[in-house]
Structure 1
């Protein structure tokens, strides 16, 4: 791979675990996978954890790319990446570097751990290819720091699935106009469609070019509230919701405490929206609104047959087997937030415990491990996916593609509470789907601005 006009990317193991098809993400540039990475993937693939699947997919991808008829010399020198649908721009080469055969000396670290071996490999390649840019790609922040300290010139995070550079620019799902909306627009057409009132106005009258379908519109001074229903090159069409009306909406006895909760409740109860993404700080009401709406739609309105609640639990594959009881009982500790929410919804009942058991049975609420959701086709169900901030883009894609006809998916998450070692707010799968689905007319996203849990929680969210 002596092509001076292209870069040479050295991949760390965590990159292939984060995105098993990462070798196709570097366009015309060449990719090197150290032998140490293959050994780590081999160790991980047999673990009883969700990450083992990603390791197996990465290994199969490498095998399919390298093939079974290549010689050892070709393996080290590199083979062209085969054409893959969706990755037609990947025209570089893939090679496996035999780091266990190289005696690293100049500037190298001690070979007492795998990270050091990968760093030494990058240093060696940097010396062997002085005319090329040799880039180490890793999602391990500490490894990036060590790489710079040991003399590796180019080190990057894997950003193939990163859409925005700063989480402050993440789509919030609504746009707030300054002053009064009605006082600042003139050329507007109004039409009555059944029980809905729809307005159309030229885009030139709107002080933003960042509108998209199902985005909510509010202002600072009046009771105006709308939701974009159609966009073309010249006009925006939106449904008039009226702020007072959405503030008086109710689901399972719960009414919104602010306009953000009102918009969220309107989207949750709308049968035409297949996926609702709720983001926001701790205590803003994400889980409470999602659960109340799910119960309302299943029990009161009979629009769905059951509720499935699931979430990401990094250690669940190893620990769930040691917990007593059925799958639902094993999942109980991991989904305590859901049972806490049910208790809040029924705390004023004469017999709260009896009500809780009755509703669990009446609404057919199932607590499922995310590990066991693969391969399923879920029909006529409300699926509540909690703690989405800890999922990668590929994991969320796996979940979303399980949704069948008549199913509504509710994704909840707080980007300030990421537990994963390799995810940040800008690389979280939650951020990815918020941006990817903002132009899909079957989804809505709402950032619940404001903590309503308690004044203590509000103070902690703001000052800690």
Structure 2
């Protein structure tokens, strides 16, 4: 059945292409939404860019017909309309003067006037959805991915096989995937478990090129810059990080699971020891936890120091410096001076082309899908990019657990041979950190 979808401002600012995402249904934009969009158009942020794109799209629709009467949306049978509220909300519901009240009034009038066509109010504002529901409107969140975080692909699975299959895997170094069974995504990890004896098992990954399960990359005896995996998920993560054929790696995990440490250790190994990449470039979004400190003095490097300190802590931990070496001034500065390590604010990444580098984007859950697209499209020849983050710790007010850039990439690249993903479950920072992550 055809429906009327009334869009709130935050939907358009979150996804400027949302107008085209409702198929053959009608899309209605209250005129007050355009007023709010206008307030953002001069911003130099992502919101400003999205606001300008929305304005251009609406102006293009206007050139094709009258927006009040309805203009066809692309090749679909749906129409776009811009409407004004003729009446205020019922007495006692808001003061009728706020933008939210006027947007709700448009949706309510449309629902009452066109009762033959269901009206759906779409907003990312939780409180506005509650208010709409109280007025008898059907309200929904706007979620392009439509994924529940608990159902996010973990990157690994278990597969029951015969005892002979487990033995064949160890003996031949590969096990052909069973025909007729749905093939797992490329670079998916698997625990091959003997159905007659669960203790008899093997770990491997699916190779789409060979259409078989193959062993993991062997970690060097001395570890990766002294780091050895403490659980099977960390072994899976190191396999992805050390595999030069996998150019995009996403690592999701709660605090203390080792996401950043493993990524930096692999980056230093590939850059300094193996010489596969010219340098390691590390970046993270600038979002404070709690109150911001305000503007910071100094050069770009000096401004970034407080934000990048978690990266420097990990690098110094990997360098395993003695107290006397630290007193002598040794540390991550040496890597910066040698040009092996580079710290880059994401603010200046647009327009760059970055070849032959190992890029780590930490705290990627604070990025929007568009920002992640901007970053990944900077990748040049011979570059590998690693996105790490915890979708349960989001500081960006404009994204949530399911529509942030990190989860967006996991879903979109799930079936690509150049990409790999793993979710780290077990905290390894300390017993106290693991307990806090679970209890608090």
The answer to whether residue 117 in structure 2 is matched with residue 147 in structure 1 is no
The answer to whether residue 347 in structure 2 is matched with residue 371 in structure 1 is yes
Give 2:155's match in structure 1, choosing from 170, 173, 183: 173
What's the CA shift string for 1:6-53, capped at 9, x where partnerless? 211111111111111100000001111112111111111212433211
Structural mapping, 1:107-126, within 5 Å: 109-126=94-111
Q: Distance in 2 between matches of 1:201 and 1:31?
A: 46
Q: Please, what is the CA RMSD of the aligned residues?
A: 2.7
* Contact persistence 1:327–1:367 (CA under 8 A): no
What's the CA shift string for 1:252-277, capped at 9, x where partnerless? 22221222111111210111110111
What's the CA shift string for 1:302-348, capped at 9, x where partnerless? 111122222233589xx899322222322222222212212222343
Structure 2 equivalent of residue 230 of structure 1: 208
Q: Distance in 1 between matches of 2:439 and 2:36?
A: 41
Q: Distance in 1 between matches of 2:132 and 2:209?
A: 48
Which shows bigger deviation, 327-336 or 133-142?
Answer: 327-336
Give 1:380's match in structure 2, choosing from 351, 356, 369: 356
- When residues 463 and 439 of structure 1 are mapped into structure 2, their CA distance, relative to the original with a 3 A threshold, is same
Q: Give the number of aligned pairs.
A: 429
Give 1:412's match in structure 2, choosing from 365, 388, 395: 388
Structure 2 equivalent of residue 103 of structure 1: 87
Structure 2 equivalent of residue 241 of structure 1: 216
- Secondary structure of 2:227's partner? coil
- Secondary structure of 1:17's partner? helix
Q: Distance in 2 between matches of 1:167 and 1:272?
A: 28
- When residues 203 and 281 of structure 1 are mapped into structure 2, their CA distance, relative to the original with a 3 A threshold, is farther
The answer to whether residue 157 in structure 2 is matched with residue 183 in structure 1 is no
- When residues 328 and 50 of structure 1 are mapped into structure 2, their CA distance, relative to the original with a 3 A threshold, is farther
* Contact persistence 1:246–1:263 (CA under 8 A): no
* Contact persistence 2:168–2:174 (CA under 8 A): no
The answer to whether residue 299 in structure 2 is matched with residue 299 in structure 1 is no
Shift of 1:129: 1.2
Shift of 1:91: 3.4
The answer to whether residue 108 in structure 2 is matched with residue 135 in structure 1 is no
TM-score, normalised with respect to structure 1: 0.85
Unaligned runs of at least 5 residues, structure 2: none
The answer to whether residue 227 in structure 2 is matched with residue 260 in structure 1 is no
The answer to whether residue 41 in structure 2 is matched with residue 50 in structure 1 is no
Q: Distance in 1 between matches of 2:425 and 2:200?
A: 19
* Contact persistence 2:89–2:101 (CA under 8 A): no
Which shows bigger deviation, 439-448 or 344-353?
Answer: 344-353
Q: Distance in 2 between matches of 1:191 and 1:443?
A: 28
What's the CA shift string for 1:366-416, capped at 9, x where partnerless? 222223222222211111111122223233222222212111110001121
Q: Distance in 1 between matches of 2:222 and 2:412?
A: 29
- Secondary structure of 1:332's partner? helix
What's the CA shift string for 1:223-272, capped at 9, x where partnerless? 6221110279xxx4021238xx4485722222212221111112101111
Q: Distance in 1 between matches of 2:89 and 2:184?
A: 57
Structure 2 equivalent of residue 313 of structure 1: 286
Q: Distance in 2 between matches of 1:249 and 1:176?
A: 29
Give 1:91's match in structure 2, choosing from 77, 99, 102: 77
Structure 2 equivalent of residue 9 of structure 1: 5
- When residues 223 and 329 of structure 1 are mapped into structure 2, their CA distance, relative to the original with a 3 A threshold, is farther
Q: Distance in 1 between matches of 2:352 and 2:377?
A: 9
- Secondary structure of 1:55's partner? helix
Shift of 1:188: 5.7
* Contact persistence 1:12–1:37 (CA under 8 A): yes
Shift of 1:190: 8.9
- When residues 47 and 258 of structure 1 are mapped into structure 2, their CA distance, relative to the original with a 3 A threshold, is same
Structural mapping, 1:9-88, within 5 Å: 9-67=5-63, 70=65, 74-83=66-75
- When residues 284 and 315 of structure 1 are mapped into structure 2, their CA distance, relative to the original with a 3 A threshold, is closer
The answer to whether residue 426 in structure 2 is matched with residue 441 in structure 1 is no
